[in-house]
Structure 1
């Protein structure tokens, strides 16, 4: 189905649907019906989390890999849940028994699927990063705003209590002047991928649909399922995989938005001859008016700063607050302040994030979302800035008013290239 036909059919469906007010009231007596698109990794984790909310039921699954699809159908059957199955996400979006969708596909599909979902009258939970380019992020914000649909981004730490408590402590001023913020991800359990020969497309896989708007290439297992994130066609490496989580909290803690400049250096230092395109080792520095935020990552090393494989540290004149998914603590600078022992995580952030998503749907109130499209786009754009600085090898200056680089040569990276008859959505 081409995009024009899909939009036309979506419009017919939307016109025949309940009004927003009646739509919201209907949820008082029936479950929120969820369909999941892309169910191999986080898409499946997201679905399992949302199904713990008694207000939710699953009615449809979509995946281009029949092997994955059949496996998930059986797992749901074991829980007493029967669903329709689809190979094409556009068919699922026309299903009148779906109120909201979870998008867990590779990053290069997020923009098209999220825009088409809200056009079809669906609410959306979209995995992070929200988009795979700066322009896609902007388009997705416009689509969410125009549609007035509930669009939650998978920045689930925004729903977790100890993250909120840590940021409140940063905002208290007790750390003194914070001059440096560090954010990082050291992925010790993962080794760089080695080159593999192209293969025949596995049985049951609709590879052309998997590629979608990405450049057509022969099938290679290194570019499929989990490993797609190491190739620019589909994702942005650890910077957009983990960076959007940790850098998000760096910005929240410092209460800032756009940097003055960004520079980055790194490369394939662990495996120069490996198959990946994105750097296995990277340092990026974001310049703000009176402090810096530094991002660093490494694949194949677990020993990150402060003995943590991931986290964010607010380094102040009086002390340093170190925060990650396990909890937060304060390390004093001499006797300038008291230490704070480790405050451990006490809740499940992903499950709470899903409750927040369902609350917004049932109350017909996108304003209560913890990670709306605007927030997801903002941090995804910041991560893209770091990647683009690495790819250009330049110190880049960001024009926040016009959302362009002052370095003209870097502007070619603002938008993703769409192929195979797909075009970037217009809202």
Structure 2
């Protein structure tokens, strides 16, 4: 399933949402979870729709620095008979609202750390989009914030809630594949086209551009850097390595019960669209060295012909056979006659709906161990993805010192902590 289809499908989840207000009236106020969404243009809107599948979830506020987006979402909510929603342009004002129990953070990656830490400090539970941070230091700060304030924090890696993903990992853990020496994870995005260069301009009317930039470097407004395409600029995100990588590398690490690698080397560049406006590599291969196995990440834009005929997936390559897993299902390809094949087991559930339900359940139970993707899990995979980008940026094989939790190379270590601008400070 590509990104466009996922967003389309998640926006149609609410076919029966006109029934929700009556369900809420029948529910005791103490059983409701009042939530707000910060950043409602893309995944923030999808996450809101996912939450509204559950009668106990009540959307009470929206926040976005683009008034045009806010107006659009208010109109769409009104069609679902959801009208009593407060609007904010400044998320800090939203966090002062005592009626809000939880917030969804759907802003660009460079804002996740500050907003999540501030939300925890304000006593809110948090559903934060992946990748949780745009640097290794931000990931660490976010884990520390959750621990300090003891809040429920679910990371939006919704594949963690899909049954077939977990069934596939149980098969890997069964040992039937034999010794797994290599794990591949990849994202081949044929739908991605060049980002055309555009001149700088004034921000659109209704956009608080300074608030959108936040801790990022001040630059003239460029429509390419705004909304969806922010993903392809280092100021705000990490390209496909962090956008899709956190979903797929997550399950590679989960299957191998692994944390951080001993070393990483990466090679790639702008090979598909060398003259377009994007900064992050459109073609990249990264090799992670762990004890006893290697993990290989690949991504490529403009083509769909990934390994095993899949445009995305994870492959656990063992002595007895290979398990191939993607969002559509999983299968086992035997190594000659060493094991029996497993025919493709197709996906049978909606990960986003189940993921948001798990978030709501833990908000009420306060059993943090029941979260399907807690902040520690999100940090582990985001840090691994950042390591791949750091290896690419340095152009050399980088080695990780587990005891010191840093690289052995000074140039790589300088990329652990981001430089914040515009008087913003990294949470300590």
**Conserved? CA contact 1:162–1:328, under 8 Å:** yes
Shift of 1:425: 1.1
Q: 2:183 and 2:28 mapped to 1: Cα distance?
A: 43
Shift of 1:401: 2.1
Within-5 A mapping of 1:277-288: 277-288=279-290
Partner of 2:423: 421
1:178 aligns to 2:180 (yes or no): yes
Partner of 1:359: 361
**Conserved? CA contact 1:141–1:373, under 8 Å:** yes
**Conserved? CA contact 1:118–1:147, under 8 Å:** yes
Q: 1:387 and 1:84 mapped to 2: Cα distance?
A: 39
Partner of 1:350: 352
**Conserved? CA contact 1:27–1:362, under 8 Å:** no
Partner of 2:163: 161
Partner of 2:330: 328
- So what's the TM-score if we normalise by structure 2? 0.92
Aligned residues: 401
Partner of 2:5: none
Unaligned runs of 5+ in 2: 1-26
Q: 2:360 and 2:313 mapped to 1: Cα distance?
A: 28
Partner of 2:69: 68
CA deviations 1:252-310 (Å, max 9, x no partner) are 11111111100000000011121111100000000012110000000111111111110
- SS of match in other structure, 1:413: coil
Unaligned runs of 5+ in 1: 1-25
Partner of 1:314: 316
Partner of 2:401: 399
Partner of 2:304: 302
Within-5 A mapping of 1:237-256: 237-256=239-258
**Conserved? CA contact 1:28–1:362, under 8 Å:** no
Shift of 1:29: 2.9
Partner of 2:199: 197
Q: 2:396 and 2:194 mapped to 1: Cα distance?
A: 26
Shift of 1:192: 2.5
Partner of 1:148: 150
CA deviations 1:26-65 (Å, max 9, x no partner) are 9873410000000000000000001101111000000011
- SS of match in other structure, 1:235: coil
- SS of match in other structure, 1:95: coil
When the two chains are superposed, the root-mean-square deviation of aligned CA atoms in Å is 1.1
CA deviations 1:372-399 (Å, max 9, x no partner) are 1100001000000000000000100011
**Conserved? CA contact 1:61–1:69, under 8 Å:** yes
- SS of match in other structure, 2:273: coil
Within-5 A mapping of 1:6-405: 29-82=30-83, 83-405=85-407
Shift of 1:137: 0.3
Change (3 A) 1:420 1:223: same
CA deviations 1:312-368 (Å, max 9, x no partner) are 000011110000000000011111111100100000011100011001101122221
